[in-house]
Copies of this chain bind each other. A is one copy, B any other.
Amino acid sequence: MTADAILGAVAFDAQGLVPAVAQQFDTGEVLMLAWMNRDAVRETLATGRACYFSRSRGALWRKGETSGQTQRLVELRLDCDGDALLLLVDQHGVACHTGRRDCFYRSARYGEWQEIAAPMVAPERLYGGG
């Protein structure tokens, strides 16, 4: 499958990136927000596994390559303006590098950010610190 028709409708920004929201397909949990460039979209569609673009590393980021916490793509969606993607995925393990299930574990309560979720896995275990 060529991804040209898919890529052509996506409004990448001046850096060639588009924000991508990953949502657990069955529970509806919003797992994380990341960024994709053309190659990341192409690879995600070709392999069926979420691949993002790491802005800090300036390189493709095959989600779970190091940690094993992969995301199987269930469906890729595009918004009305073409400038945001939604990935329905099946998250293996945890999405967040802190070991939490999702990245949005801080909630604005009483004028401050309060942690509302604890790590399910120690980050050292995810990234082979031992």
For chain A, residues 10 to 27, give those with C-beta under 8 angstroms from any C-beta of chain B: 19, 21, 23, 27
In the complex, A104 has a CB within 8 A of chain B: yes
User: Contacts A112-B6, A113-B5 given: A75-B107 contact, CB under 8 Å?
Assistant: yes
Contact across chains for A84 and B33 when beta carbons are under 8 A apart: yes
List the B side residues contacting A86 at CB < 8 Å.
Answer: 30, 104
List the B side residues contacting A76 at CB < 8 Å.
Answer: 107-108
Bound complex: CA of A81 vs CA of B34, how far in Å? 11
In the complex, A126 has a CB within 8 A of chain B: no
Per the CB 8 Å criterion, the residue count for chain A at the interface is 40
The contact of A21 among B6, B33, B98, by CB within 8 Å, is B33
User: Contacts A19-B33, A33-B19, A33-B84 given: A77-B108 contact, CB under 8 Å?
Assistant: yes
Contact across chains for B107 and A77 when beta carbons are under 8 A apart: yes
Beyond A78-B106, A78-B108, 17 extra complex contacts between A and B, CB < 8 Å: A2-B111, A3-B111, A6-B108, A6-B111, A6-B113, A9-B113, A21-B30, A21-B33, A30-B86, A45-B108, A76-B108, A77-B108, A79-B103, A80-B100, A81-B103, A84-B104, A86-B104
